[in-house]
Structure formats: structure tokens, C-alpha cells
Chain A
């Protein structure tokens, strides 16, 4: 199968071994299919435990693929070897949720940012020049090179993590809840940075978040995950304005808006929705 999409996940199943002797394996992803187009953002939204993080990790080669395929530029990468992964790291990168644990606390920022470059065989001086460029791109001072992660705030650390992801000018960045640990105003600035970078470099994002507002703001297309499966997928406008699946509707109404009267209306709508299908979703 060939397609114009950058990343094509086809009927992906991920299972983890069950706990205990002869326990049935735990199926985290139950046949998930998504597409990410070049230079675009696919927002992946769902609650904790829905499997959205596992999907991101599978794309990155950090979760075992039981069935199905992951195609990157029409190459099957679902069982890529370590060597293939190294080559792939030029094209696929990651920004994790927790800016406090995603940076090695013992390494200086310069070393953290240079690492992906030197792995690819760049000379230290080239890497140094690129690191300066990257810091500039994420609006951090260049004296950050010789400082440690703990000297930075959460938002600044996330900028560093973004700079690391950008180091090799990838085509796709998997962003796993990149703004959910940040304060509101910091979140706004980091989202701006993501948008600016996409505009400047044409990178595509697989943007994972539990926050529909965030996903709506940054995505071209949205996929909604619930209990290991995609329940709804489509253009952002359509999914967030006129959701078809009851779970999406519920998700949309659950997020509170900053106005007491409109919020009261939404609350009422949500209660009516819940009453309409008294059975839990996905049952």
C-alpha cells in the first residue's frame, strides 16, 4: 500500500504480557489506524489509560508491536532494528510530557542538545554551531549551553526538550502531552512555539494530549481514543464542532469554559447527554 501520508499506522495492536503466571496478555491498543500528513498535525486526544501514549511510543519504537503495521514514508518500521532506528531518528523525534524527567539532570544543556547530533556522526564543532542555532530557535539565551536542567523552569525545560527534538530537523515529532505539566501562560507560549516551528520548518506533529482545547488549537486533524481504540477521527473543525461519537461529545462538554453562565449551560448539556445514554460509553 502506498499513500501520500508521512506516517501511516495500520490496524496496530500492542499487547503487554499479563501479570502473574499464565495470565492473558493485556491488550493496550486494539487495532488502531491513523494517518499523519507531511507538515500537518494530528491531534490524538483521550483520557488516561486510553492508550494514546502507547501509540506514540509504538511509533517511536519504545512499545512492542504485536500486530499491524507502522509505515513511515511507506517503509514498514514496526519492527525496525536498532540500526534502522538510528537512521530513523533523523526523521522521527519526540517531546515528552514531563520536562523534569525528560532531561538528564547530570548533563549540561549543550551536551543534551548535542547528543542526537554526535550520534549521527556530526563533528563537535558542527554540533556546537547547531546547538546555538537551536537555542535561538526556541528563544533561549545561548549561555544556557553550560547550565544544568535544574536551573531552568518547567517551560524553559520544555523548550530545551523541543530544541533536542528539532536538532536533526526531523519530519515528524511525536509530542506526548508536551504542555500538560505547564502553567497556563507558559502553555500558551509553548504552543506558540510549536506553531511557529511548524510554520518555519514544515515538521509534522503527532500531538498527544488529554486536553481537547489544546488539541483543537494546534491540530489539522483530530483522532479521539477511548479504551485502546480510535472512536472518531477527522478534520479538527468537524470533530470539535460536530462530534459524532458520544464519547467525543462527552469529552467536549466536560472541559469547563471560563464563564460561569456559559459553563452552567454546558453543564446542563453534559448532564442531558449523560442521561440520554445511561449506559457507559464503549460498553
Chain B
């Protein structure tokens, strides 16, 4: 198993945020997976045996030597003969031909029906979609085996006809798979872009939509071929097959009849069926693994999920905390020790981060650092801005304070202390969840970037506000509700009662952010960590949310860490600023120092990118300007 992971290892140790995505083909990954390689080898051998059956088989499939029935293996009949004196090895080879081909027919029929109809239904929707869903539901409600028995009765014992109808019966599987895959990309912007480029619908489906169903179809087909072989063999085992044709199922039936005379007759077809079906299923799994590993988008999504789960833990102030408390594995002995005393003279800082380094151990033994030697502190009633571009490590820093780093993250250096005691002691390599669990939600709370994805759509806003308060503050439900309503009014929501009873999808993004802010202050924290709290909001709403944050902060005398990329937001709210680049802290100072007289070139570049006060229609950066216009960024080009 571990060797199957090997291809995922980034090819080189990368430091900071550098490093590119290495592209390796799914097929190569499939071959590097031992399971996939074995499955593929087995199938290739089977197919080769079937294709070259006429050359490899010493006898015709139905050549009967009556004088030599049920013979044991010898030099002429290497696997012996059956009750009619037919050569088992030859029948096995010809049987492979018919068995595999008819299974392929089944899959082909199912794809031919399910794929196009799924593409059309998924892409256009409407009447065709509705009708085909009806048909599919009817097909799926039919008992497959009974239908096949009826078809055997009506059309005779041909394996081809049986598999053709079985293909029709299982086509809904392809239809549904295709339809849902197509629906998920139908409104993607790249499909819109193709429409604007003038591509016809069929070209769009062929070029852009089909590619998303290709992989699932391959996986499904492997499984379907296996099922087809199993069903077909089952029917023939029951004696419903065509005795004049050699297939593995017919041989199985023959072997079963003579099981007391020559039990080997049962072994060979059973082995062939078992190996083939097993190989098909394993191949399907291996293909899926190979494709999923390459999927960068999926990885990003997984990260988002992790983030929102984290948020749920922090925000739900403590619906999460209790769980985390249990979930945290029995703390290591070191963690249960009394934490060391913090450095003298620093106890008065609300939070102090010293030389913090956060890294992710890589499979090759190196550690990828995302935060490196970051130090800052925040006092009560103070707002610190952490500024940087995406990937600068600013969110990772915030998450290490909250103790919400992903499982694999390690504190590789430094310490974090909150209100005079360590949450990450200098020698720790993990955030001490036990110490943080008692702080998170109560004394440290969190306002996330995406308000909508941080409210659980299944619960009302009120429920999500009340539950944490009951847990953390230990107050009654009625009390908590009263408090929640007051909080909602406090954060400027016009109809608290209505919002309290609403589900997250019924409120706007700005409202949702206010709700989250209400949640963040509900348990009267000392420190709020706000991660890009206004980035997803309209400017007018942003201004209101900033007003709200400022007002609450000064009224409650809270310390705030504001993670942002917007210098305007910094200017509006912050007292002090730290600037981060590539995981390092490049500059620190009061808001006026940083914004008016930035020292570090990176801070200057960022500030120069601000559009405010720039002459319209002029180049903002030097590098994209043509040679003639190169020079001062304020120089006009027109």
C-alpha cells in the first residue's frame, strides 16, 4: 500500500510557497499501483488467450472424444476432458472468447443507451430529462434476473440476446452517472466561454462536457463487465445457457453435474470467472485511485472542507470544543505536564507569538515550511493587521493560534502564549489542544472569510448561536435565546426575531457575516481572529461590517487579529500592522508607519498596487510597460 503512495510524493523538497505541481499521467500512476498492475496483467492475459484461442486450443470446442470422458489431465488433454470427452483447456479458451465478448456487448449496449441520453438529459434538462428519468425509474424497478428468465423463454438460450437485454437493464447506471456529471459542469464558466466562442452544442458536449464523464465511465465499465460475467455465468449455471456453445458458465454447469466424478471440472471455469471479475473490480478501483490522485481541484476542495470544519469547531464555540476534547487522542505525557512558565515581563500581552514556524512533513522526510520565524504580539483593546497576498502564510499563522491547523501540520519552531501561559510551548511540535479547547470559543473566537459556507445550512441561525452559548456559558436555553436576539440586534440586524428563525440560505452574505460576528462575540472573548472578514462582501456592506467590528472592539475592549490583503481595510481598522511574504514577516510597525513610510520593498510593491490616488489609464507596474514607457510607475503612457 505504501508503495502505491510513492508516486504522489512531490518530486523535490520545496521550501516556502514555491514548487510547482508535477504532472504525471494517470496511466503511469495506474501502472505504479501494484493492484492496478496485477489486475491489468490478468486481464491482458485473459484477452490474449481469448484472441488466440483458435491457435492455442488443440481441439475444437465441441470436438468430443466419447472414448475418453472425464479424463484426468494428461499430455493430450492438459486439463482433462468433460463428461462428453471434450477437451477442458480448449473449451476454456473458446469460452473466454464468448464470455468476454458477450460481457463487452452488455457494457457496450448499456453505454450506447445510457451515455448519450445522460449527456442530453444533463445538458439540456427540460422535457427529455423528465421523460428519460421516468423510463430509467421503470427500468431500475424491474427485477433483472426475472426479466432475463422471461427473455430466455421468449428468445431462446442465446448468450448474446441475454447480454443485450441485460445491457438495457443496467443502462440507467450510466444514464444517472453521466447526467449528474454533466449537470455539475453545465454551468461552468468554461462551458459559457465555449458558447461565446461559437461552438455548437454538440461540439461543446464532445469537447468540454464529455471529458468529465470519461473517467467515471471507464470505472463503471470495469464494474459492469464483471457484473455481466457474473450474471451470465449464473444464468448458465442454472442450466439456461446454450449447451452448443462453450462459455465459462456452461462449463460451470457441466462441472457441477459431475462434481462427484471429477471435481476439477468445476475448478477451471470457476477460477477463470473469479480471476476475471476480481481483476475487473480491482482495475476499476485502481483507475479511480489513479484519477483522483491527479485531481488538484479535488484536493483544494478537501482543504476547504477542512477549513469549514475547523470553523465549525471554533464558531460553534463549543459544540466543537467538547468533541475536540474527546477526539484529541490521549495527550502525550509531555502535553499533560504543566506547561513551562512564559518569559518574564511578557505576561501582560494578550497573545504573543515568538519565532513561530509551521511546517508540513513530506513523505520524503523533508518539512515544507509555510510559516517561518514569525513573531508579533497583541494587547487588549488593540487591533493588529496581518497583511499579505494569498499563500503568504497569514492564514496558517492565524490557524496556529486557534489550534485549527490541519492534522499533518507541525509547529517546527517557536511558541505561542495566550494571556500569560503557553498554548504552544517552545519545545512543542503540536498545538496543545487541551489547553486551547478551554480557550477556543470562550476567550478566543474566530470570524471566517466565507460567511455562507461557515453556517450549517441544515440548522437555523438561532440554533447555531444558542447551542454554543448553552455549552460554554452554561446558561439555559431561554436565556441563551434572549442573549442571541440581543446580539443580533447589537450587530445591526434589523429584524432579529426573523433572522433568528431563518436558515442560512434565507439571509444575505452581509447578514451572514453579521451573524458570525454575533457568534464570535457571544461568549465574550478576549481575542477575535478575523480571517479576511470582509473580502467576500460588497464594499458598502464591507464598510458597515468594518464599522461594526470597530464599534464592538472598542466597546468590549477586545484584542483583534485581522488577516487581510486590503490596505484600505487595514487603514480603517488597525492600530499596528505586520506584513508577511512567503511565510516570513517582512515588516512590522504602526499603521501610519507602514502605510506612509514603508521600509521593505515588498510592502512598497503592495502599496504601489493600490489603485486609489493613481492617475487613471496609466500603467501600475513597471514590468508590463513597453520599453518606451518603462520607468516610473506613475508615468503616463498615453
A204 within 8 A of B: no
Q: Please judge, given known A-B contacts A188-B608, A260-B595, whether A251 and B540 are in contact too, CB under 8 Å.
A: yes
A217, B611: Cβ atoms closer than 8 Å: yes
A85 within 8 A of B: yes
Q: Which residue of A lies closest to B544 (CB)?
A: A254
The 8 Å CB contact of A47, one of B390, B541, B546, is B541
Interface residue tally for chain B (C-beta within 8 Å): 68
The 8 Å CB contact of A120, one of B198, B200, B543, B637, is B198
Name the distance in Å between A4's Cβ and chain B's nearest Cβ: 21
B193, A94: Cβ atoms closer than 8 Å: yes
- Which segment of A30-38, A100-108, A127-135 sits at the interface? A100-108
A119–B193 alpha-carbon span in the complex (Å): 13
Besides the known contacts A115-B207, A258-B568, 17 further A-B residue pairs in the complex with CB atoms under 8 A apart: A93-B197, A96-B192, A102-B190, A116-B197, A151-B21, A151-B23, A164-B197, A184-B567, A188-B611, A192-B620, A192-B621, A192-B624, A210-B539, A213-B611, A258-B570, A258-B610, A260-B591
A57–B614 alpha-carbon span in the complex (Å): 30
A214 within 8 A of B: yes
B275 within 8 A of A: no
Tell me the interface secondary structure of chain B in the complex.
helix
B543, A195: Cβ atoms closer than 8 Å: no
**12 A-B pairs (CB sep. < 8 Å):** A47-B541, A48-B538, A60-B196, A82-B201, A116-B198, A119-B203, A151-B23, A184-B606, A191-B611, A195-B617, A217-B617, A256-B566
Q: Please judge, given known A-B contacts A250-B540, A258-B571, whether A105 and B297 are in contact too, CB under 8 Å.
A: yes
Tell me the interface secondary structure of chain A in the complex.
helix
Kindly identify, within residues 3 to 41 of chain B, every residue whose CB is under 8 Å from any CB belonging to chain A. Answer: 20-21, 23
B538, A47: Cβ atoms closer than 8 Å: yes
Q: Which residue of A lies closest to B543 (CB)?
A: A254
Name the distance in Å between B500's Cβ and chain A's nearest Cβ: 22
B208 within 8 A of A: yes
Name the distance in Å between A279's Cβ and chain B's nearest Cβ: 13
B487 within 8 A of A: no
Q: Which residues does B use to contact A, with CB under 8 Å?
A: 20-21, 23, 188-190, 192-201, 203, 207-208, 211-212, 296-297, 389-390, 509, 538-543, 546-547, 565-572, 591-592, 595-596, 605-614, 616-621, 623-626, 637-638
The 8 Å CB contact of B616, one of A60, A94, A116, A217, is A217
A183, B567: Cβ atoms closer than 8 Å: no
The 8 Å CB contact of B571, one of A116, A139, A253, A257, is A257
Chain A 200-217, CB-CB to B under 8 Å as 1, else 0, gives 000000000011111011
Q: Which residues does A use to contact B, with CB under 8 Å?
A: 47-48, 57, 60-62, 82, 85-89, 92-94, 96-98, 100-107, 115-116, 119-120, 139, 147-148, 150-151, 154, 161, 164, 183-189, 191-193, 195-196, 199, 210-214, 216-219, 236, 250-251, 253-263, 267, 270
Q: Please judge, given known A-B contacts A217-B614, A236-B616, whether A183 and B565 are in contact too, CB under 8 Å.
A: yes
A62, B195: Cβ atoms closer than 8 Å: yes
Chain B residues with CB under 8 Å of A47's CB are: 538-541
B208, A104: Cβ atoms closer than 8 Å: yes
Chain B residues with CB under 8 Å of A193's CB are: 624
A150–B608 alpha-carbon span in the complex (Å): 29
B616, A259: Cβ atoms closer than 8 Å: no
Chain A residues with CB under 8 Å of B623's CB are: 189
The 8 Å CB contact of A255, one of B193, B539, B608, is B539
Q: Which of B198, B538, B546, B608 has the most CB of A within 10 A?
A: B198
Chain B residues with CB under 8 Å of A256's CB are: 542-543, 546, 566, 568-569, 571-572
